[in-house]
């Protein structure tokens, strides 16, 4: 075994796969740049760490089950002037995750709530936090199914594990009678321990009908609104705006005006 093969074998034993696969090109680069041994070792380690980070990010994206990939640079803040861009950037730092807080994006459909939630979830993954995305209807259905099969504890533990749980379209459909109680158990598990990103187009006054029980609704709101950042977005739907621009739809926002008025007059909680 020559020196090159021996070094490759050592790198393989150490699971330094980037160095193993890029050994010749890295050595050539170090030579071209006339790097010292210390500088060359730094270069090699940086490449290995960068590849491992990318693999971790790619794997975490798969485990998060995002419905699509979005980032903050792709969000049109100019189209939603009610949004405070600085506040969103502050949330993107991840401080709310470290504090186990909730961020609620409220407003009518099509204004970018889910885009923001996914983009912030992406930022959390890059910062090495675990993230899980679930539509509220799917989450509650899985809790109910687990409850019926005697596996509720297992399912609650599953949803309590991610550092960030994204619940999309909370209140889009009303819960079954027992679902509100199950959802409250989940919120209790995560309360002050796990961060959440929630999107909704419901106002507080509608929560009793959504959760099926005013008492449970009050308890759920208490958990959601305590230690939370409530961000209400008022503006046109992106999809309707595009249709209006193309001439397919006239006066597209007329059907949303009453809903936006409701959102303006109260905190909405309880879909995108």
Write down the domain spans for the chain: 3-60, 65-264
May I ask the CATH class of domain 65-264?
alpha beta
- What is residue 82's DSSP assignment? T
- Report the distance separating Cα 48 and Cα 17, nearest Å: 8
pLDDT for position 227: 87
Q: Are 75 and 115 in contact (CB under 8 A)?
A: yes
Instruction: State the helix-helix crossing angle for 113-126 and 85-92, rounded to 10 degrees.
Output: 40
Q: Are 134 and 167 in contact (CB under 8 A)?
A: yes
pLDDT for position 252: 47
Q: Read off the pTM.
A: 0.80
Per-residue pLDDT of the chain (272 residues; tens, 9 = 90+): 788 889 999 999 999 998 899 999 999 999 999 999 999 999 999 999 999 999 999 999 999 999 998 999 999 998 888 899 999 999 999 999 999 999 999 988 889 999 999 999 999 999 999 999 999 999 999 999 999 999 999 999 999 999 999 999 998 887 777 888 999 999 999 998 999 999 998 765 666 667 777 888 888 888 888 889 999 888 767 656 665 555 655 554 455 555 556 655 655 556 55
Separation in Å, CA 57 to CA 63, 128, 129, 130, 224: 10, 8, 10, 10, 28
pLDDT for position 210: 76
- Report the distance separating Cα 248 and Cα 23, nearest Å: 57
| 91-124 tens-digit pLDDT | 999 999 999 999 999 988 889 999 999 999 999 9
Q: Match 């990103």 to its residue by tokens.
A: 197
| 215-224 tens-digit pLDDT | 888 888 888 8
């Amino acid at each position: 075994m020559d020196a090159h093969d021996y070094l490759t074998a050592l790198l393989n034993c150490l699971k330094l796969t980037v160095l193993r696969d890029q050994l010749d090109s890295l050595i050539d680069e170090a030579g071209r740049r006339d790097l010292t041994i210390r500088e060359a070792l730094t270069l090699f380690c940086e490449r290995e760490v960068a590849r491992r980070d990318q693999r971790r990010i790619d794997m975490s994206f798969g485990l998060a089950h995002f419905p699509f990939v979005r980032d903050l640079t792709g969000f049109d803040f100019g189209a939603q002037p009610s949004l405070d861009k600085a506040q969103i950037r502050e949330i993107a730092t991840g401080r709310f995750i470290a504090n186990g807080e909730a961020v609620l994006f409220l407003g009518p459909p099509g204004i970018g709530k889910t885009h923001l939630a996914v983009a912030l979830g992406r930022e959390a993954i890059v910062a090495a936090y675990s993230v899980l995305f679930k539509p509220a209807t799917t989450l509650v259905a899985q809790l109910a199914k687990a409850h019926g099969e005697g596996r509720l504890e297992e399912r609650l533990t599953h949803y309590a594990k991610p550092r960030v749980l994204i619940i999309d379209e909370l209140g889009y459909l009303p819960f079954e009678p027992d679902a509100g109680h199950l959802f409250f158990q989940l919120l209790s598990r995560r309360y002050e321990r796990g961060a959440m990103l929630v999107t909704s187009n419901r106002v507080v006054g509608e929560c009793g009908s959504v959760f099926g029980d005013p008492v449970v609704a009050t308890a759920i709101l208490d958990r959601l609104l305590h230690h939370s950042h409530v961000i209400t977005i008022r503006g046109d739907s992106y999809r309707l705006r595009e249709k209006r621009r193309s001439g397919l739809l006239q006066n597209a926002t007329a059907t949303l005006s009453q809903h936006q008025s409701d959102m303006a007059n109260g905190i909405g909680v309880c879909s995108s």
